[in-house]
A = this chain, B = another copy of it.
Amino acid sequence: MAKTEQLQQKLGDRLVLDPERIAHYAHDSSRAEPEGTALALVLAESTADVSAALAWANEAGVPVSVRGAGTGLVGGANAYPGGLIISLERMNRILELDAENRLATVEAGVITAELDAAARAQGLFFPPDPASARTSTVGGNIATNAGGLRCVAHGVTTDAVAGLEVVLADGRVMRTGARTRKNVVGLNLTSLMVGSEGTLGIITTATVRLKPVPPGIPRTFRASFASLQDAGRAVSLIVNGPAQPEVLELMDSWSVEIIESFHPSGLTAPGGAMLVGQTVGLDAQDKAEAITETCLGAGADDVEISESDSLLEARRLSNPALNARGLKISCDVGVPIAQLAEVFHGIDAISERHGLRVSTVAHAGDGNLHSTVESPDSREGIAAADAVIDEITRLALSLGGTISGEHGIGSVKRHELPWQQDAVTLDIQQSIKHALDPRGTLTPDRAI
């Protein structure tokens, strides 16, 4: 076992050796279990702490896992046996909010919703909006290039990141990017770090782009369909239509049932699916009307427009609602938008063939689906559910899709990587990993 004394001299009580406290930080929110007990936990309070911890671990040959709020869904932040956990949760200061340039610089451990609230106090907002925004951190969102509800309008997390401070495996500190909108200076190391899931460096601070809050009162809308495939077709029509939503989400009937039983609000979608979404701007009402018109034309049997947020709130609760039922065997596939109806059709067929119930919620506007399989909580049951997820994943790929839209790969999905990436791409990723982390200290054997 590596000697922690030297590190303790530098970090004092920011180095935790108590196994009970360590255990609390040893796993994320996925079904992946840590493979063993970590050696120690660093509750970093500064970039210097992270640098000292990484330099020590790199020298000592201790594998490092990195953790924001632990809301990850693919085992990416789970502890390694004998490893060091570096938590960024104490690095939670908003360092600067430059409203005139629409930039904020924050430490990695700032809760995403708190950054958004600080921006809104100045008439701005932080576009990334993962369903976990009230508990997840900006640094964690960046490390997984998180998605969320507003991607159809504002893109993903990487689109909001202007620059990063990153601690490399050997403890050196690198600064990437610029405060300008355009910057063609050397390689785009900012985008390389975003979504790298802790394999290339530890993000300690980020400069992010904010946007002005649109004027007017947002409208939410709902459209209920008797058929999931009709709802899929409606999404393609909406996204290619003149009235663009800021949010466009789908829940199938079983998802609605699961959410209703977790948090009753009167929603039903018997046998089919429900689209919910939001429009913003001074013409929010006009756009919501145009979109619900499109839905009626595509076969919706009931539509609704509202100034209340409760429809989206239901969608935001899908993850806790599924968790409350013990449903954790799910996917995060994406397809090109025009293939939505086809993928829904295929999921139905797969579910039927396997005799296992599948519930699907989707960030429909960007083609990102989360299907969850219900199965007995036995080894056989889990294997059967995994087989369904594998089939859905291969279906998405066959339609030009992706194995992960927003959760990342971590340990849970690593076996799927070669399904999507060819041997050259896999090799080049390892070459870059080796160039930046030759000893394999940072989040080894995950994500790439």
Residues of B within 8 A of A19 (CB): none
Interchain CB contact under 8 A, A402 and B178: yes
User: How far apart sit A421 and B409, CA to CA, in the bound complex (Å)?
Assistant: 31
Interchain CB contact under 8 A, A185 and B432: no
Interchain CB contact under 8 A, A425 and B174: yes
A173 lies within 8 A of chain B by Cβ: yes
Interchain CB contact under 8 A, A436 and B425: no
Bitwise interface map of A from 414 to 448 toward B, beta carbon under 8 Å scored 1, else 0: 00010011101110110110111000000000011
A101 lies within 8 A of chain B by Cβ: yes
A100-B180 in contact given A175-B422, A432-B432 (Cβ < 8 Å): no
Residues of B within 8 A of A236 (CB): 100
Interchain CB contact under 8 A, A180 and B101: no
Interchain CB contact under 8 A, B432 and A184: no
**Quick check: which of A187-195, A261-269, A301-309, A347-355 contacts chain B, the rest being far away?**
A187-195
Bitwise interface map of A from 387 to 428 toward B, beta carbon under 8 Å scored 1, else 0: 000000000000011111111110000000100111011101
Q: Which of A167-213 contact B (CB under 8 A)?
A: 168, 172-176, 178-189, 191-192, 194-196, 199-200, 212
Residues of B within 8 A of A181 (CB): 151-152, 155-156, 334, 337, 366-368, 405
A338 lies within 8 A of chain B by Cβ: yes
A215 lies within 8 A of chain B by Cβ: yes
Q: How far is the CB of A306 from chain B (nearest CB, A)?
A: 24
Which of B100, B192, B422 is A337 in contact with, Cβ under 8 Å? B100
A229 lies within 8 A of chain B by Cβ: no
Interchain CB contact under 8 A, A338 and B188: no
The residue in chain B whose Cβ has the minimal distance to the Cβ of A146 is: B184
Residues of B within 8 A of A424 (CB): 168, 172-175
Residues of B within 8 A of A195 (CB): 184, 187-188
The residue in chain B whose Cβ has the minimal distance to the Cβ of A172 is: B424
A240 lies within 8 A of chain B by Cβ: yes
User: How far apart sit A248 and B366, CA to CA, in the bound complex (Å)?
Assistant: 29
Interchain CB contact under 8 A, B368 and A180: yes
A137 lies within 8 A of chain B by Cβ: no
Residues of B within 8 A of A88 (CB): none
Residues of B within 8 A of A145 (CB): 184, 188
User: How far apart sit A26 and B394, CA to CA, in the bound complex (Å)?
Assistant: 47
Residues of B within 8 A of A100 (CB): 236, 240, 336-338
Residues of B within 8 A of A175 (CB): 422, 424-425
Interchain CB contact under 8 A, A194 and B188: yes
Interchain CB contact under 8 A, B184 and A144: yes
Residues of B within 8 A of A436 (CB): 428, 431-432
Q: Which of A86-104 contact B (CB under 8 A)?
A: 98-103
User: How far apart sit A199 and B183, CA to CA, in the bound complex (Å)?
Assistant: 17
Interchain CB contact under 8 A, B185 and A192: no
A260 lies within 8 A of chain B by Cβ: no
Interchain CB contact under 8 A, B409 and A186: yes
Q: Which of A129-167 contact B (CB under 8 A)?
A: 144-145, 147, 151-152, 155-156, 158-159
Which of B335, B409, B426 is A180 in contact with, Cβ under 8 Å? B335
Residues of B within 8 A of A212 (CB): 240, 242
Between A and B, 29 residue pairs with Cβ closer than 8 Å are A99-B240, A101-B338, A102-B240, A145-B188, A151-B181, A168-B424, A173-B424, A175-B424, A176-B425, A178-B401, A178-B402, A180-B335, A180-B400, A182-B334, A185-B402, A185-B409, A186-B409, A186-B421, A186-B429, A186-B447, A187-B192, A187-B195, A187-B200, A188-B191, A188-B192, A189-B425, A215-B242, A428-B435, A432-B435
Q: What is A's interface to B at a CB cutoff of 8 Å? A: 98-103, 144-145, 147, 151-152, 155-156, 158-159, 168, 172-176, 178-189, 191-192, 194-196, 199-200, 212, 215, 236, 240, 242, 334-339, 363, 366-368, 400-409, 417, 420-422, 424-426, 428-429, 431-432, 434-436, 447-448
Q: Ordered nearest first, which 4 A-B pairs have the shortest CB separation? A: A191-B191, A100-B338, A180-B334, A182-B405
